[in-house]
Structure 1
Amino acid sequence: AKTGAGDALPSTTLGNFLAATLTAPWALSAAPAMVSGRGGAVLLYLGIVQLGLAYLLFVRGVRRVPAAEASLISMLEPVLNPVWVLIGFGEQPGRWAIAGGAVVIAAVVVRTLVPQPQRASTTSV
């Protein structure tokens, strides 16, 4: 985030590469029976382009906000997923999804609207 050191893109890329590598044996054992050639191409596209672009934009944006704010904003993604499913497919979210989403949205609203006290900067001499 804003006060952090370094670029988050290499660690994000490494984390996604490790996740893909470690889960590949399970995905590939089920995929041949479940995914056609075209479906596999779509999955590759979504994994590389769609997720890659999303992470690239997130890493660039997270540099511009404080760490707490970046964390709260990133919590909105899973909260909004049931909303997109409701809009796109008409599937109603369960009460626990609504309750959890309300807690996260309330935290984001409070963080956004309530003025935060400024901490005195300390410099070492």
Structure 2
Amino acid sequence: MVLFFIGDLESGNLFGNFIGVLSGIAMAAFIILLKLQAEDSPIEITLVGNIITFVIGFPFFFLSVPSMNSVSGLLILGVFQLGIPYILYTTSIKHVSAVEAVLIPFIEPLLNPVWVFLVTSESPGGYGFVGGSIVVIALITRGLYQQRKKIFI
């Protein structure tokens, strides 16, 4: 975590870094609570969470007049980036361990700098690259360890 923020720890960036850390903590809490709901139906709690988010965010929608392009973009992203993945995730969480339920979704944000580099040629900072590499190597190592453990049991 420290490696991701070390290059950007300036007085002007502290609030954004703080919000980023809080976001990560909230995501971890969400996944843990979903895993605790795995015997029931985690889809309902996810739906309630998204309704709460909608209610909180709705007044901010009108701060600027949205165009049809932005509304259609929101609908497309809502369905394909959030809706369908949430359904798949909440359905599959019953079949994975708590650690896997936490680690698998974090592959996407770790790969974001790769996609940004491929599309815009903007390279990630050295510390961010090292931090992301540590997480990816840890995921691969854990997967190999789990697979090897299954073979010998």
Question: Shorter-chain TM-score: what band?
Answer: 0.7 to 0.9
Q: Does 1:77 find its partner at 2:108?
A: yes
Gaps of 5+ in 2: 1-34
Deviations 1:66-120 (A, max 9, x none): 11112111121211111122223322122233133123212212221224879xx
Alpha-carbon separation, structure 2, partners of 1:43 and 1:23: 13
Comparing both chains, which one has the higher relative contact order based on Cα–Cα distances under 8 Å and sequence gaps of 6 or more? 2
| Bigger-Rg structure (1/2) | 1
1:11 Cα shift? 1.1
Contact kept, 8 Å, 2:38 with 2:93, in 1: the verdict is: no
Aligned to 1:26: 60
Listed as ranges, the matches of 1:38-117 within 5 Å are 38-115=69-146
For 1:109, the aligned partner's letter is: I
Q: Quick check: which one's helix share is greater? A: 2
Flag structure 1 segments of 5+ consecutive residues without an equivalent. Answer: 119-125
Work out whether residues 2 and 63 of structure 1, in 8 Å CA contact, stay in contact via their aligned partners in 2: no
1:86 and 1:92 in contact (8 A); partners too: yes
Report sequence identity in percent: 32
2:95 is paired with a residue of what secondary structure? coil
**1:79–1:100 Cα contact (<8 Å) kept:** no
The TM-score with structure 1 as length reference comes to 0.74
* RMSD (CA atoms): 2.7
Counterpart residue number, 1:17: 51
Q: What is the TM-score normalised by the length of structure 2?
A: 0.62
Task: Supply the distance in 2 between the matched residues of 1:59 and 1:18 (Cα, whole angstroms).
Answer: 18
Aligned residues: 115
